[in-house]
Amino acid sequence: MIKLTHSLSAALLMLCAGFSASALAHNPMCECKAIDAEQIKCTGGFSDGSGAPGVTLDVIGYDETILVPGKLGADSTLTFKKPGAEFYVLFDAGPGHVVEIDQADIESP
């Protein structure tokens, strides 16, 4: 049996913890496209391929007013009527998992 010193054991534990954390890391992703002149569809998920059902996706005016409060559906999408005011979309899956999409970055049909 190999005997490890306390500091070597601690270093190995930290190294293993670092590998497992990076293996579980995933980045938020969100894409919005105009379906037509009136409707926009946003799809959210994570870089590991998982969906994001139930994640908050709000449409917010430039004055910080929530124009369309929402949550992604079971298919990780939300479709909403394009607001008359300038806006951005906020996909918020929690601290460090936030994506903002400005209206200028939304693809036209």
Each residue's pLDDT tens digit, 8-65: 344 444 444 444 344 456 899 999 999 999 999 999 999 999 999 999 999 999 999 9
CATH topology of domain 27-105: Immunoglobulin-like (2.60.40)
**Do residues 92 and 68 make contact, with C-beta atoms less than 8 angstroms apart?**
no
**Cβ atoms within 10 Å of 56's Cβ, excluding its own:** 17
**Do residues 58 and 89 make contact, with C-beta atoms less than 8 angstroms apart?**
yes
> How far does Cα 51 stand from its chain's mean position?
10
